[in-house]
Structure 1
Amino acid sequence: MNGRENGKAYQRLFMALRPDEAVVKALGGACIELKRDKAFEGVRWMRPENLHVTLVFLGRQSAEDASRIAATMTEVAPRHQSFDIVIEGLQTTRNNWQKGVLMAMVRENDSLRNLQLDLARSLASLDIEGLDQREYMPHVTLARLKQERISPDQLSSVNFSLRQQVRTMGLYESITLETGAVYTLLKTVQLGSRA
């Protein structure tokens, strides 16, 4: 649990797709190439086990709401069949905390967009507070940057195009420690499955 407030336990939650082992390895190779560039000194790289494509960021949620969130994910999954995603290209942006983020971009497709919209709408109907309202931009966060931007030339020096079939989605808890975030898988559901 992430904390307690007024006697209630809270967790910081998100729903995500997990890259498969081959994709994680390839992204690790891209990061190794980038680490050779001085512009990436002092960057805080994500641990391989933390790489993911967020579907919905849920923020702090009570145990009661976490249970409803998990049930909603289970209800949404049968409405969507497995699909492929393609991860290609790098980009930087600033997050909500005004820190730079290095991302591997996920090419949008109708299946991914429909799954994300279905989850967001289904969760919104539960009247759960804290749902991320930003425009959806599918990506895999690779690193937190000291500086806001890295030049496009530095990013374009690393090329990759990674394809993966998405069969499952997961509900994760995020716990922030001094050494970085730890993501714990709380529930996995199979797409297209009623189980």
Structure 2
Amino acid sequence: MRLFLAVVPPESAIQELDAAVRPLRSLPQGTGLRWTGLESWHLTLAFLGQVDTEQLSALEPGLAHVAHEHPAHRLRLAGAGRFGDRALWAGVSGDTLALRKLAEDVADAARRSGIAVDDRLFRAHLTLARSGTARADLRALAAALADFQGAEWTAGTLCLMRSYLGAGPAHYEAVAEWSLTAEG
């Protein structure tokens, strides 16, 4: 299975961001992009790649422990940015330190289970669009969303997500979920 760990914003936050993003899709800079679907919007904590059943069995208790050790925390989708000319993203504000610590701890749990996780610095974001093979100038789109401030929401669930690739956009489904239960 191709897996990753994530926090999924509530439907209200997704709808709020969609209302701000929808007009950008028809701008000249937005028409050639591959826009991600609302049903796939999430904050990736760690990408695990291909995981076999044995590794998954070893991983799940570690993730349950991590969730038990972390409190729910308040976040909001806010601002935007880009990864060069490859991807447009929405930013995250609020208790991003708690989110970063959660990302670090789930990556450590995966490593302890024998799953290789890359060591890239965690940057909280929600991918909105990708440019594909043709590079795009995403500066104007990022600038148009720079002042976006969504409503605050509680990140209270750690999700183990499965990714299905193929023709068309990727499809994701939750394989397991754990509530963040530590006292804040």
Q: Compute the TM-score of the two structures, normalised by the length of structure 2.
A: 0.88
Please say which of residues 164-173 and 107-116 is displaced more in the overlay.
Answer: 107-116
Q: Is the 8 A contact 1:69 1:123 kept in 2?
A: yes
Matched, 1:173 2:155: no
C-alpha displacement at 1:189, in angstroms? 0.5
Deviations 1:100-159 (A, max 9, x none): 111111236221121111112222223323x12211111101111144453534422233
Q: RMSD of the alignment, in Å?
A: 1.8
Aligned residue number for residue 80 of structure 1: 70
Q: Is the 8 A contact 1:92 1:149 kept in 2?
A: no
Candidates 160, 168, 179, aligned match of 2:148: 160
Candidates 52, 69, 72, aligned match of 1:62: 52
CA–CA distance in 2 between the matches of 1:126 and 1:151?
38
User: Where does the alignment leave 5 or more consecutive residues of structure 2 unmatched?
Assistant: none
Q: How many residues align?
A: 178
Aligned residue number for residue 13 of structure 2: 23
Aligned residue number for residue 116 of structure 1: 103
Bigger proportion of residues as strand: 1
Task: Give percent identity, aligned residues only.
Answer: 27
Candidates 126, 130, 135, aligned match of 1:144: 130
Aligned residue number for residue 172 of structure 2: 183
C-alpha displacement at 1:90, in angstroms? 1.4
Amino acid at match of 1:168: T
Aligned residue number for residue 120 of structure 2: 134
User: Where does the alignment leave 5 or more consecutive residues of structure 1 unmatched?
Assistant: 1-10
CA–CA distance in 1 between the matches of 2:90 and 2:77?
6
Please say which of residues 62-71 and 132-141 is displaced more in the overlay.
Answer: 62-71
Q: Compute the TM-score of the two structures, normalised by the length of structure 1.
A: 0.84
Q: Is the 8 A contact 2:88 2:142 kept in 1?
A: no
Aligned residue number for residue 36 of structure 2: 46
Relative distance call for 1:27 and 1:69 in structure 2 (3 A) is same
